[in-house]
Amino acid sequence: MGILAEIISSLAGDAPVKEVRIGPFWTAVWSRRCGLASTTLTYEHHGSLFPVGEAGNLTSKSALELSRYAASDSLIERALALAAVNSLLEVDPTRCRQANAADVLAEWGKDKRVCVVGHFPFVPRLKKVARELSVLERRPLSGDLPASEAESVIPEADVVAITGTALINGSMEKLLALCSPGALVMVLGPTTPLSSVWFAHGVRFISGTRVTDPALVLRLVSEGVTFQQLHGRGVELLTMEA
């Protein structure tokens, strides 16, 4: 069973879907609470295959029904599944602290070999404190390495931070398997389910987002906010440690 399937199996109960928003950068599902996931666009759909096959009927479903999109061939439907999972998660506040992933990585990555999967805004800050920083990206920016270099870079890293969107594109298990047994591993980003299931897979820190004002966040998602614009507006950043 994959990690996402384990997380879905661990969910307590179900809830009807109140709202769904698919913005250019974020997808939101509001059921028991509001969950976010990164909108992953693909232009590979042709013929009778639609990016969201049941578009227009999503609010007639439950969050668990949307979570079944995790097995979809459509990346947008997989993002819907992650947002639905995050909308159902019961986050244990005693296991969390309000902390930005950037702060945790800057602390634990100081003078270490650090690999970040996904280009995050904190990369320049981390570059100043890490002994060596490698950024793997499917669409590399200046200074990044292509994702195809993962097998040569990740095993050599002391600290590995993996974007939660790897659950959407199906690469998470492979990336975790590449980590050295002694490496400190973090999974981060608003897509990341704040579930203790991660800790059985060698992950030390999970850093995600809890929506505190669903109505505001839904509006902002529809208006096309990036996460930097969303930060501090109806969301809080939480980190759990094994």
Mean pLDDT in the chain?
94
pLDDT digits (tens, 9 = 90+) for 61-109: 999 999 999 999 899 999 999 999 999 999 888 889 999 999 999 999 9
CA-to-CA separations, 159 to 4, 112, 178, in angstroms, rounded: 23, 7, 12
Burial (CB count <10 Å: 0-12, 13-18, 19+), residue 85: buried
- Count of all residues that appear for the chain in the document: 242
Question: 45 pLDDT exceeds 70?
Answer: no
- Please say whether the beta carbons of 5 and 202 come within 8 A: no
| Secondary structure element (H or E) that encloses residue 228, with its range | helix 227-230
pLDDT digits (tens, 9 = 90+) for 158-177: 999 999 999 999 999 999 99
Q: Which residues contact 148 (CB under 8 A, 6 or more apart)?
A: none
Domains parsed from the chain with CATH numbers: 3-90+213-231 (3.30.390.100), 94-208 (3.40.50.11590)
- Position 231 scores a pLDDT of 83
pLDDT digits (tens, 9 = 90+) for 189-228: 999 999 999 999 999 999 999 999 999 999 999 999 998 8
- Position 40 scores a pLDDT of 84
